[in-house]
């Protein structure tokens, strides 16, 4: 098999990656060991973005397994954000009073090497059956404080359009649910799945449907991804983005600036910049929070507020997300720091 032909199908094994020219032969054994613990998949849309000649390629770093994943630090956790402790029924997480996560399936078109659910995703047998969906939606229906249902996984846009349409209809029939949010990598990792039919299903759900697209580098916004986002925006679906701050991928201010400007051009509002979670074997991706705060400070004043995401940390154990971005107001001194770093006094209250 030629490297070109290997790259035209989803790559799932060390042999596949070797055939496609994405790993050197001397790393195949380590990659095979990684694949025994954590799912591997690279779609043709993703492999087309990778430059095999660049050992620092930021797309490859996100998706191609490496021996570094075999090293688990003492602070890393199989369930770093505490999903299990807040799961009253299978496939549902209720961490915040007004919203729940629903994971109808745990498969994805691609598997990110930094995924916080990396110990669970890739399990096709974990797809929720009808009885399990019934239980989860009954839980939501019995609790009027729940105003938002977030479909995540896995990737909800891997569901067949008819099944997704039926699920959205059932959620939408719960009167106290105001909106449905979907988290997905599909528009950038497998944009061909975003058909007019799928966009119509999302746009015609009856309740407000918001789509949060996971994208970490501007090169992921290929012409095919741009067309997928355009179909979604054209169907009236508000688009947000979620980005993970990753060493070797987007840990420079100019790289983040280029990404956030590109997202806004495609009618996607940057929403969250996540500090990496403490998932097993992901230490090689993590910066310090101080480094992340410094990057966000550099972006303030250089980018429109529309293009500024909130830098957040998901507290280990399930305590929830909190902003950890830079501070500009000094309460004690009654002073404020401008984007250039100059302090200014401000009249006290």
Block residue for tokens 């909800």? 156
H runs (alpha helix) in 38-183: 44-47, 58-63, 130-141, 161-172
Tell which residue, 35, 34, 38, 63, has the closest CA to residue 48.
Answer: 63
Query: Which residues have a Cβ under 8 Å from the Cβ of 267 and sit 6 or more positions away?
Result: 229, 230, 233, 239
Dump the DSSP string for 254-279: HHHHHHHHHHHHTTEEEEEEEPPP--
Tell which residue, 271, 262, 330, 275, has the closest CA to residue 305.
Answer: 271
If DSSP codes are grouped into helix, strand and coil, which group holds residue 239? strand
CB 213 within 8 A of CB 225: no
Block residue for tokens 């480094």? 291
Q: Which residues are catalytic?
A: 95-96, 99, 108, 112, 115, 117, 277, 314, 321
Alpha carbons 292 and 245: distance in angstroms, whole number: 8
Alpha carbons 277 and 263: distance in angstroms, whole number: 23
Beta bridge partners of 300: 303
Alpha carbons 275 and 286: distance in angstroms, whole number: 8
46: left (phi over 0), alpha (psi -120 to 50) or beta: alpha
Beta bridge partners of 273: 243, 311
CB 237 within 8 A of CB 200: no
CB 345 within 8 A of CB 335: yes
Alpha carbons 278 and 76: distance in angstroms, whole number: 5
The tokens describing 6, both together, are: 């290997």
Q: How many CB atoms lie within 10 A of CB 207?
A: 16
């Amino acid at each position: 098999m030629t490297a070109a032909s290997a790259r035209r199908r989803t790559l799932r094994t060390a042999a596949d990656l070797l055939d496609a020219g994405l790993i050197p032969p001397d790393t195949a054994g380590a990659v095979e060991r990684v694949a025994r613990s954590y799912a591997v998949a690279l779609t043709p849309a993703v492999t087309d973005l990778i430059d095999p000649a660049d050992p620092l390629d930021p797309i490859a770093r996100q998706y191609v397994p490496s021996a570094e994943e075999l090293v688990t630090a003492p602070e890393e956790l199989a369930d770093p954000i505490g999903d299990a402790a807040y799961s009253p029924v299978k496939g549902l997480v209720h961490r915040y009073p007004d919203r729940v996560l629903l994971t109808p399936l745990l498969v994805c078109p691609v598997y990110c090497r930094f995924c916080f659910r990396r110990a669970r995703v890739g399990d096709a047998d974990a797809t929720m059956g009808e009885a399990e969906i019934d239980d989860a939606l009954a839980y939501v229906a019995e609790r009027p404080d729940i105003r938002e249902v977030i479909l995540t996984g896995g990737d909800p846009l891997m569901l067949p359009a008819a099944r997704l349409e039926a699920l959205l209809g059932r959620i939408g029939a719960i009167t106290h649910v105001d909106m449905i949010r979907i988290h997905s990598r599909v528009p950038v990792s497998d944009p061909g799945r975003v058909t007019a039919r799928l966009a119509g299903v999302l746009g015609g759900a009856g309740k407000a449907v918001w789509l949060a697209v996971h994208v970490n580098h501007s090169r992921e916004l290929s012409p095919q991804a741009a067309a997928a986002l355009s179909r979604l925006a054209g169907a009236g679906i508000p688009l947000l983005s979620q980005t993970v701050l990753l060493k070797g991928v987007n840990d420079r201010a100019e790289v983040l600036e280029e990404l956030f400007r590109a997202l806004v051009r495609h009618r996607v509002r940057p929403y969250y910049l996540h500090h990496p979670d403490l998932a097993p074997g992901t230490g090689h991706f993590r910066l310090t929070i101080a480094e992340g705060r410094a990057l966000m400070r550099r972006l303030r004043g250089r980018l429109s507020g529309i293009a500024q995401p909130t830098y957040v940390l998901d507290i280990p154990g399930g305590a929830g997300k909190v902003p950890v971005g830079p501070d500009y107001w000094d309460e004690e001194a009654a002073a404020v720091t401008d984007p250039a770093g100059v302090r200014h006094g401000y009249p006290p209250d």
